[in-house]
Amino acid sequence: RPMSSPAARIDEPVWRAGLRGARANLVPGLALQVFAVALVLAYYRWPAAEAALRETTAWRGRFGVLFPIGITTLFGGVIPFLYLRAQRVTRAAHPWRDLWFFAGYWAYRGFEIDLFYRLLAATVGTGHDVGTLAVKVCLDQFVYCSLVAVPMMVLAFGWRAEGYSWTRLRTRMRGRFLRHEMLPLYIANCAIWIPAVTAIYALPLPLQLPLCNVVLCFYTLLVAHFSAHQARAHAERGA
């Protein structure tokens, strides 16, 4: 689940770096949460929306595991990358070779997230009561994200930032990697995504990953837009 990385300043408390990252993504995060809740309400209250969303369940049955891999590659990787390439201020930082990184990373994450959602359904249940939702959200944000999702994202995008060099990545990790990168990103991630995953788990299992991908793409594009706007404003001030 990509977001602006709130890398901590020297000796800055972890919680303050995390809150700084959450504030930096406040507008995209609120938009994401409103969007996710609106989709859930539309599913339960608008028959046309329910029919349209349920059509996606047939795609999962038709394509199997290729469906979560394909849609996550598209919505999490390809569309945001093309948007960043289209923006003048972010184009240089996203050469075409990075498309394979974005596509490969999100292809794997699509498989992983789909597997995690199915594991939760099998172990916690498929109910939509408050207790079931609370358990799923806690396992998602405080176990899966803290132990798997956020560490993997920091390492993967850190590897990319170091020019795909494992040697430079290991050097980077020898610093205050956990304190300055992992924990601030995790804190900011929880602040933004806890309401969003609550909405995701409120839907039936076949619709959870599609909603996750729609929200993921929407959020990534918003963050990219705000980042590009900030970079453009900074460049204009420096001109």
Name residues whose C-beta falls within 8 Å of residue 106's C-beta, 6 or more positions apart in sequence: 72, 73, 75, 76, 77
- Range name among 31-40, 58-67, 175-184, 221-230 with the lowest pLDDT average: 221-230
pTM: 0.79
Task: Supply the Cα-derived Rg of the chain in whole angstroms.
Answer: 18
Of the two residues 108 and 91, the one the predictor is more confident about is 108
- pLDDT, tens digit (0-9, with 9 covering 90-100), for 51-85: 767 777 777 778 888 999 999 999 889 988 998 88
Contact in structure between 5 and 15 (CB atoms under 8 Å):
no
Query: Across all residues in the chain, what is the average pLDDT?
Result: 79
Confidence band of 136 (pLDDT split at 50, 70, 90) = very high
